[in-house]
Amino acid sequence: MAAEAKYNVRELLAYNGARVLEDKRSVFVGTGLPMIASMLAQRTHAPNLFIVFEAGSFGPLIPELPISVADSRTFYKGIAATSMHDVMAISQAGYVDYGFLGAAQIDMYGNINTTVIGDHDRPKVRLPGSGGANDVGSFSQRLITIIANQAKRTFVNKVDFITTPGYLDGPGARERAGLAKGSGPYRVITQLGVYGFDEETKRLKLLSLHPGVTLDEVKENSSFEIIIPDKVGTSYVPTEEDLRILRQEIDPTGMVLGK
């Protein structure tokens, strides 16, 4: 990242996450950076973005960053305060365009681990677990994942536990598992760049590098081979107005974005 950058890594991640989201679409949002990105999109280019939270909130206009998906602020000016059952039901029915999650590990097919590092019964690290993350990844039309620290320990050949299914073991695997045809991972955003998935192989593919990042850094910080096309773009960077919204309106305490 360029030394003169006026933004920190988390602000860049949130901004690029926001850029993926489209107006007049729905998004099932997880805690942390996915929440911030969705709030930023709603305040800028996607005012009609329909946000859904696991605890039962439909279509809120969130005043500032909640501490979790069950915080009362996730219901602010929403069109309905309902139940987890109803949220999962509309997701299973195919009404959710985007799922938006964080991850501790991801593999080349976009499978996500937020459960354990190491053996399941005797793990090195026990993580928060699924919550609704399996449902989000299984039933949303497109899954977006943010990983704040891309490294060989987070971009792994095989995740230690599949909390949220990506393309499983490759083309056709989601369909064989009973998941909707055409659904699955769509974008992965890290401190190094933005990734998509190859249409034929379903493997992770680099789309853009953040300013100042090199291809060598991308390769060095992955345990698997990332598809790198002939033409790689440069990621978007937040404007002063985007940063003002992030810092003053969305996360004024710096709870997630930092100071």
pLDDT, tens digit (0-9, with 9 covering 90-100), for 174-195:
999 999 989 999 999 999 999 9
Q: Taking a C-beta distance cutoff of 8 angstroms, is the pair 35, 55 a contact?
A: no
Confidence of residue 215 (pLDDT cuts 50, 70, 90): very high
- Residue with the two structure tokens 């069950």: 70
Task: Tell me, yes or no, if 54 is annotated catalytic.
Answer: yes
Q: What is the mean pLDDT of the chain?
A: 94
Chain center to CA of 236: 16
State the pLDDT confidence band at 233, using cuts at 50, 70 and 90: very high
Q: Select which of 4, 22, 54, 175 is catalytic.
A: 54
Q: From 73, 81, 206, 198, select the one nearest 150 (Cα to Cα).
A: 206
pLDDT over 50 (residue 211): yes
Q: What string of DSSP letters covers 231-249?
A: --EE-----HHHHHIIIII
pLDDT in tens, 123-132: 999 998 888 8
Would you say the pTM of this structure is higher than 0.85?
yes
Positive/negative CA dihedral, 165, 168, 171, 172: negative
Residue 2 has pLDDT above 50, yes or no: no
Burial of 127 (0-12, 13-18, 19+ CB in 10 A): middle
φ/ψ region of 56 (left if φ > 0, alpha if ψ in -120 to 50, else beta) reads left
pLDDT at 62: 95
Percent helix, strand and coil across the chain, each to the nearest 5: 25, 20, 55
Q: For 134-175, what is each residue's pLDDT tens digit?
A: 999 999 999 999 999 999 999 999 999 999 999 999 999 999
> Does residue 1 register a pLDDT over 70?
no
- Report residue 116 CA to chain centroid gap: 19
Distance CA 28, CA 186 (A): 14
The confidence score (pLDDT) of residue 3 equals 40
Q: So what's the pLDDT on residue 79?
A: 96
- Looking at residue 254, what is its pLDDT? 94
Q: Indicate whether 4 pLDDT > 80.
A: no
Place 5 in a pLDDT band, splitting at 50, 70 and 90. Answer: low
Residue 259 banded pLDDT, cuts 50, 70, 90: confident
CATH placement of domain 9-249: 3.40.1080.10
* For residues 73-82, average pLDDT: 95
